[in-house]
Amino acid sequence: MSDLVIVESPTKAKTLTKILSGTKVLSTKGHIMELSKDYPTAEQRDEGWVINGVDQDLNPDWKPVYGSVKIINEIKKEAKKADQIYLASDPDREGEGISYHVQQILLESGIPEEKIKRSTFHEVTEAAVKKSMEDAGTVN
């Protein structure tokens, strides 16, 4: 059985590689997706907003962050080999966003949702990391 752990920070990836010997650990190096520059301006969006400035059909257009295509391709390649994938980005709003984008990329590339877990930990120790993997849930 092979696991893949995906974190935000390259430094954390190096540390986890030592802690989780035999487990492939990759880093997103931060955000890998951003709003497209072709996304409508506030004025253009306002024309379609009818309820207190809230568009009922808001579907943002995301694109890879400059330089992240290589990282995305590596994640997809390694995910296809993994039995279980742990999205272990930071346990905060930004980390959750990064995990969401990685999850969407994996789902779009045919990885089954049941293989993707959300793992969070507050300290980078062997016990804390392994416990977070045992207790892994879903992306919010």
pLDDT digits (tens, 9 = 90+) for 119-134: 999 999 999 999 999 9
Helix (H) or strand (E) run with residue 131 in it: helix 126-134
Q: Tell me: pLDDT of 65 over 90.
A: yes
**Closest-CA residue to 71 (of 13, 112, 136):** 13
Q: 61: pLDDT confidence band, cut at 50, 70 and 90?
A: confident
Beta strands 33-35 and 62-64, pairing class = antiparallel
Beta strands 3-7 and 24-27, pairing class = parallel
**What domains are defined for the chain?**
3-32+60-134 (3.40.50.140)
Q: Tell me 114's DSSP state.
A: G
pLDDT at position 43 is 64
pLDDT at position 84 is 97
**117 within 8 A of 85, measured Cβ to Cβ:** yes
Q: 50: pLDDT confidence band, cut at 50, 70 and 90?
A: very low
- CB atoms under 10 Å from CB of 33, counted, come to 20
Q: Tell me: pLDDT of 115 over 90.
A: yes
Q: Tell me: pLDDT of 59 over 70.
A: no
pLDDT at position 35 is 82
Q: 36: pLDDT confidence band, cut at 50, 70 and 90?
A: confident
Question: In the block, which residue shows the tokens 């877990």?
Answer: 117
Report the length, in residues, of the chain. Answer: 140
The predicted model scores a pTM of: 0.84
Q: What is the CA radius of gyration of the chain?
A: 17
pLDDT at position 60 is 72
Give me the chain's average pLDDT, please: 88
Q: Is the dihedral of CA 105, 76, 133, 28 positive or negative?
A: negative
